[in-house]
Amino acid sequence: MKTHYYLGWFNNLFPVNLCSVLQQDITDRKSLVMISSNPSIYEEAGATERSWLDQASIMFDEYHLINYRVQKEDAKTIIQNASVIFLLGEDTLKQNGFLIEYELSDSIKKSSAVVMGASAGAINMSAKWLCSKNLGYKVEMSTVFNGIGLDNFSVLSHFDLENNITLVQSELSLLSEEINIYASNKDCAIRVKEDKIDVFGNVFLISHSRILKLDATL
């Protein structure tokens, strides 16, 4: 049963109701595998994301961080044995390049683990995403990147939507003609379990250039 969590960024802890569904979904707690978004930096990577799970009383027998210190083939083996795979937040582009370089996407898609991503990690879990300076990236040209493709939609995560609705709708209009886009701010989550999509917090659906605020179901 596939279970995917697309998270924003939580400045404090996971709220009680989100903790509750996570505890129900994460029953196998042998191994947490975190995938870096800045694989050349080793110190403190994943500390915040791990603290969210710790505070929700979701702890594991083993903890692994995949970055350049881990060999490519070892990384795939670690993923195969994962209970939960957590794509860390921060640098979407570097993480995307690392996933390609280490050929991790197929291993993640084939895994039976619960897959989670925060901010950059959530974006890279999706099928496609737009890299644009208007969405906060330091680039001159807008480019659509392929993500892992765990679900057939795009994600814009951890973005100040309330103050930029018009900009976001305009910027993502073209991509939204091709694929649904779920856009969220910080303390938000999208859960996909089998074919059911639930949302927590302020999440918007952009489809065929129209934007709709979704009712929270978690």
Residue 208, in any domain of the structure? yes
pLDDT tens figures, 7-21: 999 988 899 999 999
Residue 218 lies in a domain: no
Query: pLDDT of 59-77, one tens digit each?
Result: 999 999 999 999 999 999 9
CATH number at residue 107: 3.40.50.880
Under 8 Å between Cβ of 125 and 154:
no
Q: 159-165: long-range contacts (C-beta < 8 A, 24 or more apart)? A: 159/135, 159/183, 159/184, 159/185, 160/185, 161/185, 161/202, 161/204, 162/202, 165/204, 165/211
- Evaluate whether residue 105 is within a structural domain: yes
Mean per-residue pLDDT over the chain, rounded: 95
- Tell me the average pLDDT across 82-95: 97
For residue 217, give Cα distances in angstroms to 24, 198, 214. Answer: 16, 5, 9
Question: What is the DSSP code (8-state) at residue 30?
Answer: S
Q: Are 7 and 14 in contact (CB under 8 A)?
A: no
pLDDT surpassing 80 at residue 38:
yes
Long-range contacts of 146-152 (CB under 8 A, 24+ apart): 147/96, 147/123, 148/99, 148/105, 148/108, 148/109, 148/124, 149/105, 149/109, 150/2, 150/4, 150/108, 150/109, 150/115, 150/125, 150/126, 150/192, 151/4, 151/125, 151/126, 151/127, 151/192, 152/127, 152/179
Quick one: pLDDT at residue 186?
86
> Is residue 44, in this structure, part of any structural domain at all?
yes
Q: Which domain holds residue 147?
A: 3-213
Domain presence at residue 202: yes
What is the 3-state secondary structure of 110-149? HCCCEEEEECHHHHHHCCEEEECHHHCCCCCCCEEEECCC
pTM, entire model: 0.96
| pLDDT tens digits along 132-190 | 999 999 999 999 999 999 999 999 998 887 788 889 999 999 999 999 999 998 899 99
Does residue 7 form part of some domain? yes
Neighbours of 186 (CB within 10 A): 17
Of the candidates 42, 44, 45, 106, the one whose C-alpha atom is nearest the C-alpha of residue 72 is: 106
Give the type of residue at 29: R
pLDDT over 70 for what percent of the chain? 99
The total number of structural domains in the chain stands at: 1
